[in-house]
Each structure stands twice: as C-alpha cells, then as structure tokens.
Chain A
Amino acid sequence: MRNQIWGPELLKACIGIVDTKTFLIIAVIKIALVVFIMLTGVAYTTWLERKLIGRIQNRWGPTRVGPFGLLQPLADGVKFILKEDLLPDYVHKGLFILAPMLALVMSLISIAVIPFGENITIAGHTTALQISGITHSGGGISDISIGLLIILGVTSVGVYGVALAGWSSNSKYSLLGSLRASAQMISYELALGLSLVGVLLLSGSLSLRGIVKAQSDTWIVGGVNTHVPHWFIFPQIIGFFIYLMAAFAETNRIPFDMPEAETELVAGYHTEYSSMKFAMFFMAEYVNMFTVACLASLLFFGGWHGPTFSFLPPIAQALLPVLWFALKVFFFIFLYIWIRGTLPRFRYDQLMAFGWKFLLPLAIANIIVTSLIVAWRA
C-alpha cells in the first residue's frame, strides 16, 4: 500500500522545507526575477537585431537614443504604450483581444521548465535555479519529469494565437495569412518533435535537467578518454540541424517568415493590430526565439556545463554555470539575427515541400540510425 500523504505533508517529506510560506515566497521571487530578465532580454534583443542587421547591411542601426542607441528599446516601449489602440468595429472583439494574449502567455510558460543551473544558496535558503525545480534536503533537485513534453505542448497551443488573430480580424487577407502561418507552424512541429527523439534515446529522460545531466562527462571512445565534453551535438549533428531548421520555421523567422513578409507585400495576420496588441505579438516572437535558443543549448550543447574555477566564492560558483548558459543562448540569438541578415526567404510552396518532403524523412532516418546504434551498444 502506498503512502497516502498529500499537500504540505508531502512537501515536508520530500524536500525538507519546513515552511510552505517560505517555499511560496522563494518561488514568487524566482518567477518575478526570471520574467523580468526575460522581458528585458527581449527588449535588448530587438536592439541587438537592429544594430547587427544594420552592420550587415553596411549602415549604423540606432545610434541617436542614448549611447550606441542603447535606450532605443525604452523609446519603442513608450511609443507602443502611447500609441492609439484601435479596435475596429467589424472585428470579433473577444477573440481579437484574446489572440495576442494567448500568443504571449504561451511563450512565457515555457520558461517555467527551463533550468539555468544547479542549486544556489542565498541567506541560508537553498533553491534550484529553475522555476519548477525543487531542492531536496540532500542537495538533489527534482524536476518536472515531462519537461520537454510540456514545451512541445505549449508550442502546439501557441498556434491558436496566430490562427485566431487572423480569423477575428474579419478580413480575407488576414484570414489567408493566418491560415498559411498556422499551417506552416503545425507542419514543422512534426519535424521538431521527431528531431528531439534522437536526444531522448541518448539521454533516456524527458526531463530537461536529466538531459543536461546525461551530458556531464566526457566522451570515452574504446576505453580512451578523449577530453571532449559529452554533449549531444557530436552524435546528433543531423538532429541538431533538423531541430534548428524546424525551430526557425516554428518561430516564423527568416528564411521561413513568409507569413510576416506578407505584411510588407499584401497583408498578414497582424494587419489590424496596433500598439500594445501588436507589441504582444512582437514580444511573443522574441520570447519564442529565446525558448528555442535555451532548448538548443540545453539539449545539444550541454546546458550550463563549462569550465568551473574552484577559487571563486560559492555564490559566484553557483552563478558561473548561468554565465556559460547565457553565452550559449546568446550565440543562438546571434545566429538567428545573422541568418536573418544573410538569407532570402522561401516561397510558401518551397517552404512546405521542405518541411514535409525533406526534413520529416530525414528526422525519421535519424531516429532509425540512432536507435540502431543505441541498441547495438547496449
């Protein structure tokens, strides 16, 4: 017969935290901090994008507002708040207001399961560097055991934001644009999910912390310790490329941003949106970019593993892995912006053919080869 405890007693038994109130306060502080850092990061990613694209195109980018244009996101924010928020007569009002909120909320939920590092101890309280991570009394950390599935689920529900935005705008061009965008997103979800199966076969766990833990040593080939870290990029290079391309298509970035290019050409799903609602779609896109970058560094590049230095004080030692993680995430954001400045965009039929006829069979072949190798080694 199993234990029939639930509620606060379960917390005490598992994690040794005697006070539910302390646990809740720490959780709220973590959430506030992570959301604040994420949204500031999003704002400064827009600055970085404009600067880098400008430099790639041999011009300056924003330079006037503050030194190096660093206060530009602030000015953009003020502009968005002060602009008139139009609500046209002919739109379906409930869904019109719901769609951008759905898009933004779904992108922010993924951050709750992303781990940034191990334990950190501040003022006598030890907590895990993850919103949904719980530290045991022995120092171990419990994670959500289906963290990766939660991120996939949230990505699937995020399609509704795009679909409902176009439909509620009550205009033919918005409707067609949003149908194309959501068809693109659900087609590439398949390739995205299948490309991650190779990583799951190698790590044996769906929890993000478990996957990072499986990348902690170095590769030992034939009894010889090569001093190469045990990152999954090395066996799963094809899976990594499929993931990257599918993620670019999911986040509607160049070279897959036909739904947004239609805003320049004809009309897209956010034509009728102005000011704060448009800003919410914009922010949702950048938060999605962040999530993709975090996942890529967690699943293929070893997460927060990097050189550690033992001469640092403990709090710096707890935060150094976060620095390595941030560097890897920054590299992926830079890659996103670099590709945007360099490549032209796909036509819609080329885009769909690429997803269904090339990426999907390649991902399945990757799964077959990986599972054969894993079974042969076992």
Chain B
Amino acid sequence: MTETSDLLKFGISIAQDEKIDEVIAQRTKGKGYQIRFSNSMIDNSKIWRDDNLELFLAKGKKSTYLEIEAPTQAKIRSRIKDASKFLERLPDSFLYNGMESNQHEYEKLNKLYDPKIMDFSDKAPELVNAAIQASLESGAKKVAGVLYFGRSETELSTSYGNEGLYLGSYYRFTIRSFVDPDSSGQGLACSRNLSGVENDFLKAGNNAGEIAKMAIGGTQGTPGKYDVIMSPTVAANVLGQVFDGLNPVKIMVGMSPLKYEHVGKQIASKEFTVIDDALLAEGLGSRPFDVEGTPKGKTPIFSDGVLKGLLQNTSTSNMDKVENTGNSTFFDFGIGSKFLAPGPSNIAINGGDYTLEEIIAESKKPTIYITSNWYTRFTNMTEGIFSTIPRDGMFLIENGEIKKPVRRLRLSDNLLRICSNISAIGKDVKQIYWWEVLTPTFTPTIKVKDCTITAATQ
C-alpha cells in the first residue's frame, strides 16, 4: 500500500459514506521542468511541483468532477461533502451511462519511465545551449524554443476495485531557427526515454537551421490548386483535427467532420491506416488503463482508408451499443467543467514506402512542401472546412525538384477531401507533440493531391 493508494481509498470511502454510487479517484504527482529560450539564450527556467487528485462522482445518472491540489484527508473530506451536495442538485445526464465495472489486471509498461530523468535537470541547460549552438553553426542567426521534461506518478482507484499505478518520464523539445525574420525552420524531438537525448537535440537544432537556410530568399507564393506535401509536423496537426473528431460527444455537438454513417465506409485513401495505440513505449500518451480503469490497447481507426470505428468509453459505448475501446478521459470543451468522454492516447499512422526525397522526385505537378503550420481554424467543423497557416520553410516543387522557397500562403481546404486525396505516404514515421499538436501522433510525411492554396489579396 502506498500513501497515495491509502488516500485514494479514503476518498472513495468518504464518497460512499455520502451515498455516491460510483467513484473514480486518480492522483498524479510529479515534477515538471521547462526551459524556454529565444534570441539564442535561455529566457526562463521553470519548475512545477504537481500533486493533483481528480475525482469523478456519479449517483445514478448524475455526475460531477472535481480536482483537489495538494490533497490531504481534511481537504478530501470537505470537498467531497460539498461535491456530494452539489451532485444532488444536478439533473440526470443522458451522457452518463456508467463506468468500467469489471475488475482488471493491467499490463506493466515499464518502458514509460527512464530513471535518467531524476538528474536530467542538472544537465538540461547545458544541452539546450549546445542545441542552440548547433543550430547557429548550421546557419541560423538566432534560435528560439522550449524544452519540457519531468516525471510523474499516476495512481488510479475506482469504487469497482480497479487499482493501477504507472510511472512516466518525458521530454519534448522544440527549436526554431531564424536566419532572418522571414526565413525560419523548426526541429522537434520528444520521447519517454532519455537515451540519445543529446543527439536528438542536436539533430533537431541542425534540422531547424537547415530548413531556415533553405527558406532564404523566399518570395510571395501564388494561390491556386497544388499537391501538398505535409511534413510529419503538419500532418499531425491537420489530420489531427480528424482524429480529435473520433469522439462521439464531439460528433453530437457538431465539433467533428466525422459522422456515424462514415463508420465502415472508405472515406480516406486506401494507403491510410491508423490506430490509437496506448502501449507504444515511446508514446507520450501511453498508459496501461484509462481513467475508468479499462485496460488500454490498440484500437483500429482507419484500415486501408476505411473508418473502422470511433473511440469509446463505457458511457458512449453503451449509448452507441458498440465495444468500449478503453479511451475514457476527463474531457472538457476548453471552457468549463470536465466530464467523462473518449479521447485519443497516441495516434499512430502507418508508414508507407517512400522517402521524402522520393516523394519530392515523384512530384511532377506543381507541389507545395509545408514543413510547419499553425492557427488551424474552421468555417464549419461538421463540414470540415478549415484553413491553416504554413510557417517556417515552405517550398515550391516543380518537375520533381524543389524550385524555390515561397511565403505567405494559406492551406484552405476540407478535411474529408484531404483524407480521400492522400496520394503518398512516407516511411519517416516520427512522434510529434508540440505547441500545435497536443495528442502525441506518430506520423510520416504525407502527400495530398489537389489542395486549395490561398493568399492575401492586398
């Protein structure tokens, strides 16, 4: 018995004393660091000492969620008593249809934790400065970025007797190099394992510097129809909008381009195969169980372009009368209280047969290669109509060769059309997790035909 499991059991027993039917108690303790840098110098080094207890309480079809920071028995007793009174005054919710009630043993995912994380803070500033230096040496004039790293211990206990614990370590590194204000490139690296982290940082720094150099002298691009090559960073963001929509709650409120009638149909190119994989050793979203205590595993999403199903938890699978995929999360709309709803763990897109060089060489039609993007927004989420803004090096390809760097264009298209127009998939699968991609996504370079590229008119 750990101190945490005692505290979780205490919370469950207090809730049961308050006549709560079902309880989830999950505590996450950890220490996280961030080193931010810009102008080739470290700007701020941060330390977060986190200790957060999340509680989900259900009585019949009424449910509520609360968080208790730095939990103590006194805080837990008082907050649960308040929450119990609050819960009594909520109406039944049709969204709540039960939680995991079967008992489970969980797979041990030992690779999620690397003990080297314990003393990583001693050398992290030095490694960041070395990566900055590498980028400067590869041609950058100034470098900005961020390194996150840390460790966390997550322990779960539910009123159905499910108990689990896992340790995690992580780092994620973003480096953006500028040769001049308009010529920039970005490099990313992330993992749970710190083996080879020095080289990963240097490689990311070098990549960023190389793209920035290639972007020198870029000119205003011409709007029109192009094939588009999305780097893994861009593919993770753009296709990530589709994967976020695998949630039945999002479909219900109109925040997804996916529809129930898409399930079982081919809505993407045949080359497109994707799974939600919670067991990837390197995956920053890996975990042995979801927040209800359902064991996690691999869930097919797209198989040869066919949408195999949505992500589910107990409530939505009961509503949809399908299998629970073990994807329960504490979910919110970005504003307001959390509730139980499905969400992705790690998205893994199957790699294809091509190198980036081969994809470029095969691009005989005018093609735009986008290395990074941001600010993806929708005109209509159910229709999938969106635009996103390329940033960093962007290149026009003609007759199989990079012709010149281009600037100030916008990818304005439709998500479903993009899925069905995938024309080539690279073999360079890479985990992407950064400011614009908050679901860890393993993706290669992806080429899409006939995309709409727009630009400012004046």
Do A and B originate from a single complex?
no
